Amino acid sequence: MGAAGGRRGFYVGLALALASSAFIGASFVLKKKGLLRLARRGRPRPGQGGHAYLREWLWWAGLLCMGVGEAANFAAYAFAPATLVTPLGALSVLVSAVLSSTFLSEQLNVHGKIGCLLSILGSTVMVIHAPQEEEVSSLESMAEKLKDPGFLVFAVCVLVSSLLLIFVAGPRYGRSNVLVYVLVCSAIGSLSVSCVKGLGIALKELFAGKPVLKEPLGWVLLFCLVICISVQINYLNKALDIFNTSVVTPVYYVLFTTAVMTCSAILFKEWQHMVLDNVLGTISGFLTIVCGIFLLHAFRDVSFAPDLLPLFLQQSRADLHATWRSTDRHRSCQHRPLLPSEDKGTEEDEEEEGEDV
């Protein structure tokens, strides 16, 4: 019964994580669509200090989708392992990219399409090999895990390294190295996910009729979550203000997901009872998602043309083109096109070029 309930909770968390990615990805497109409508009407843009977007229903629809997505993501941590929920957040980037190319006429080049495919494959592999965390069903068991020496050492290391990055490395290298502020966000984010996990358990107990509001641990977790999120937002905005979004987004995803997976492995012992093939599958799926996100962002402004192909591929392409031409020339008239070819005048030149190659 417990195994069946745990598996059912796993699938509920998986469904919530996927729904969260879909809503969050759609929210970016809806907000952008609303802002573009305001720009066409000549209204002051937010970058110019305008607040006309507050009267645009598309912007509010995007904000509602964002809220629903974040709520679903919050709930997903109460049912599924953080090692599964956090990497699946990459699918929101994929949803946003696909919807942007459809509804915002933003070009999705071949690198972006390959990146989307890799993200889907990596997410599928991670779902198949996702770890089953040690059972945490109450705030009492959560409190016991928070007292674990391994987690206490990890938390102290996170806080000390974050303070060093903020007060020592930040003033010196913060404007020249993207890792400084992104590392702060990622390290503190691993603790915020643990707080979210604990609050999700508290909400489940609250709905079950238990006197959770009298437990001090729930309020401590809420206080810590507010502080962690405030620090994350502050330093993520600094990183986005200094560096290009196409650089910050993949770096932040990789570091944040790695920190969360490490924290979850130490706190919830998610990897303790995993066999070797599941460990390798989880790591491989995560690295595949990383490659997909990198391709999706790093080369989104690069136009891909046949001339960019290596020379040996261009030669094969020319030979194949010449083969098609010779095949068309030997076809019977009933298989010939009804309309003349548009490049008929250059047919002989292309054939000669293929022969020279």
pTM here?
A: 0.69
Is the residue at 20 inside a domain? no
CA distance linking residue 270 with residue 99, whole number of Å: 34
The tokens describing 290, both together, are 């990383």
Question: Is the pLDDT confidence value at 9 over 80?
Answer: no
- Residue among 300, 305, 249 nearest 114 (CA): 300
The answer to whether residues 205 and 138 touch, using CB atoms and an 8 Å cutoff, is yes
Total domains in the chain come to: 1
Domain residues for 284? 81-302
Q: Which of 92-96, 226-230, 283-287 has the lowest mean pLDDT?
A: 92-96
Is the residue at 4 inside a domain? no
Read off the pLDDT band of 158 (50, 70, 90): very high
| Inter-axis angle of helices 57-76 and 179-207, nearest 10 | 70
Which residue type is seen at 199? L
Is the residue at 166 inside a domain? yes
Is the residue at 165 inside a domain? yes
The answer to whether residues 58 and 101 touch, using CB atoms and an 8 Å cutoff, is no
What's the chain's length in residues?
Answer: 357
Is the residue at 321 inside a domain? no
Q: What is the pLDDT of residues 199-254, one digit of tens each?
A: 888 888 888 878 878 888 889 999 999 999 889 888 887 887 777 666 777 787 78
Q: What count of Cα atoms within 13 Å lies in the side-chain half-sphere of residue 205?
A: 20
Read off the pLDDT band of 346 (50, 70, 90): very low
CA distance linking residue 204 with residue 198, whole number of Å: 10
Q: What is the pLDDT of residues 293-339, one digit of tens each?
A: 888 777 766 666 555 556 555 555 555 556 555 555 544 444 444 44
The answer to whether residues 289 and 87 touch, using CB atoms and an 8 Å cutoff, is yes
Q: Which residue has the higher pLDDT, 201 or 274?
A: 201
Conformation bin of residue 80: beta by default, left when phi > 0, alpha when psi is -120 to 50: beta
Cα dihedral 303, 30, 184, 201 sign? negative
Rounded to 10 degrees, the C-alpha dihedral 229/233/239/244 comes to: 120
Is the residue at 93 inside a domain? yes
Give the pLDDT confidence score for residue 357 in this predicted structure. Answer: 44
Is the residue at 109 inside a domain? yes
**What is the average pLDDT value for the chain, to the nearest integer?**
76
Is the residue at 68 inside a domain? no
Give the pLDDT confidence score for residue 341 in this predicted structure. Answer: 46
Q: What is the pLDDT of residues 117-136, one digit of tens each?
A: 888 888 888 888 877 655 57
